[in-house]
Every structure is written in C-alpha cells, then in structure tokens.
Amino acid sequence: MERGLSRNTLASYRRDLDRYAGQLAAAGITELADVRPADVTRHLAALRESGLASSSAARAISAVRGLHRFAVRERLVAHDVSADVHPPAPPKRLPKALDVSQVERLLATPATDSPLGLRDRALLEFLYGTGARISEAVGADIDDLDLGEDSGAVLRGKGGRTRLVPVGGYAKAALQAYLVRARPSLSENGRGTPAIFLNARGGRLSRQSAWTVLHRCAIAAGLPVDGPYAVSPHTLRHSYATHLLDGGADVRVVQELLGHASVTTTQVYTLVTVERLREVYATSHPRAR
C-alpha cells in the first residue's frame, strides 16, 4: 500500500513470501529473528534449482529482501540478514516489436460488423495508438477519454501514476465507431459500468479477456503466438515505442508517453532501433558483407 503497487504485483509478492515462509518452516524456523543469511541464500538456490526463470527468482528474492528491510525498520529484528543476498541478474533481452506491416495486419483482423468486433478493433487501435499497458486500457473509463480536436486519454499506470497521452487519428476513429455503434448495446446487458471497454455481459473487460482478444487476432493475422517471438499483451506497447524512436522521437518524450519512472527503462528501446539500423545496413549496402 505504501509503495502504491498494483494488485497483480501484490499477489505475486504474497505468493513469493508464502513460498519463503514454507521453506523456513520446513527448516524449523518460525521467527524472523532466527533467520540467518545462509537461510536466505539457500532459498535463492532452491528457487534456481526449481527451474524458475531468473526474472521470477529475482522478483521472489526482492520480496524476501523487502520483508527483512521492513522487519528492521519496524524494529522486529536488529539486522537485515538479506542485505548481502542479491537477486540473479536476468539476461538482457530486447523487447519484441512488430514491424509496421505486421501491426497493420493485426489491427485489420477484427470484423467491424458486430458490437464485439468493433470493440476488438477499438481495443487494438487504442493499445497501439497510445502505448497503453493492457491493464491501463481495460482500467480506463469513459471520463478518461477526450475525442475532441486534440484527442487524448488519461491512463493510470504503475505506482498510481497518471499520464495524459494523445490518441491518434486511427484509434480515435475506431473508438468513435465503437462508442456510437457498439458500446450502447453492450452496456444494456450490464449495470452501467463507466469502463470504456465492455464484455458481452456489459461489465468491464478483464485483462484476461483482452489478452484473449489479442491472441485470437494474432492467430488470424498469421503472427506467432508461441515461442520467443510470440505476440503478447506488451507487444503493441513495445511496437509503439520502437516505431516512435524509429521515426525520430526523443527518448525523453517516449519515456513520458510510456509512463516510465526512469529513462533507463525506456533506453532499452534504443537498442532495438540500433539493431534495426544494423539489419537495414547489412541488407542494403553493397559493401556491407
């Protein structure tokens, strides 16, 4: 609560700490004051041996370290036994981004002859047109949207931070078509939720349902849904950032649009564009090879 974390993050940390408490209990440790640095190190080793991905193990250890820091701050224990136990460094992976033609193919897949088809088209256009996280899109309300001349949307991101992002012409047209021709009929089945995107029962569209929409459209567009290049809920956000940088946008501007607290997070996308430059050079220059 103090850090303003999302429900999903809190649920993940709760699972991580439940697993930690279970391992300590198996070792006969029931009080935080009895935990030693070796116990925390042993827990990290057990996480890695279980086949957990380095990113998941890093998150689990971060939760454990947060627990011990909290215990010291609240004077429940005298020392932080986790201070010297560092999470494993995850391998650096570049964000997966679609090229422009793939994005256009994906956005064109929903049929617009039904309310749900109009909704799906508006959802995909909104995700790509604003760079919103999928949780931000399904969490947005009608009052957060302004489709006037300078159209924009208020998005509520991680840590309770809000930001105003512009809504492009294609996304604006898809949203207007959905709001006029589809949302009223969908809302008749519900209880008057203020959400922009509704499910077939008139309630707020869930993250899982929005992911299902994206997955179904990716299959229809002939895009990968399995393996390292599978289209995921973050794919359109990655593509949004990469295409902005490819088009000459300043990294600080992209940081604000994405709602990143630190520009370091945004700078990973500059690596994507460098890779793209190398690829274009290698395939286009007569003396590249």
Burial classification of residue 93, based on how many CB atoms lie within 10 Å of its CB (0-12 exposed, 13-18 middle, 19 or more buried): exposed
Question: Using CA atoms, how far apart are residues 145 and 143, in angstroms rounded to an integer?
Answer: 5
Q: Which of 133, 156, 172, 183 is catalytic?
A: 133
Q: What is the DSSP string of 194-226?
A: -BSSB-TTSSBPPHHHHHHHHHHHHHHTT---S
178 is an active site residue: no
Beta bridge partners of residue 104, listed in sequence order: none
Instruction: List the structure tokens of 45.
Output: 């080793």
Give the total residue count for the chain: 289
128 is an active site residue: no
Residue the block writes with tokens 């700490």? 17
13 is an active site residue: no
Question: Using CA atoms, how far apart are residues 232 and 211, in angstroms rounded to an integer?
Answer: 8
Q: What is the DSSP string of 81-135?
A: TTTT--PPPPPP-PPP---HHHHHHHHT-S-SSSHHHHHHHHHHHHHHHH---HH
Q: Which of 42, 158, 207, 216 is catalytic?
A: 158
Q: Which of 42, 204, 234, 276 is catalytic?
A: 234
3 is an active site residue: no
Question: Using CA atoms, how far apart are residues 147 and 94, in angstroms rounded to an integer?
Answer: 34
Q: Which of 237, 238, 240, 243 is catalytic?
A: 237
Catalytic residues: 133, 158, 234, 237, 260, 269
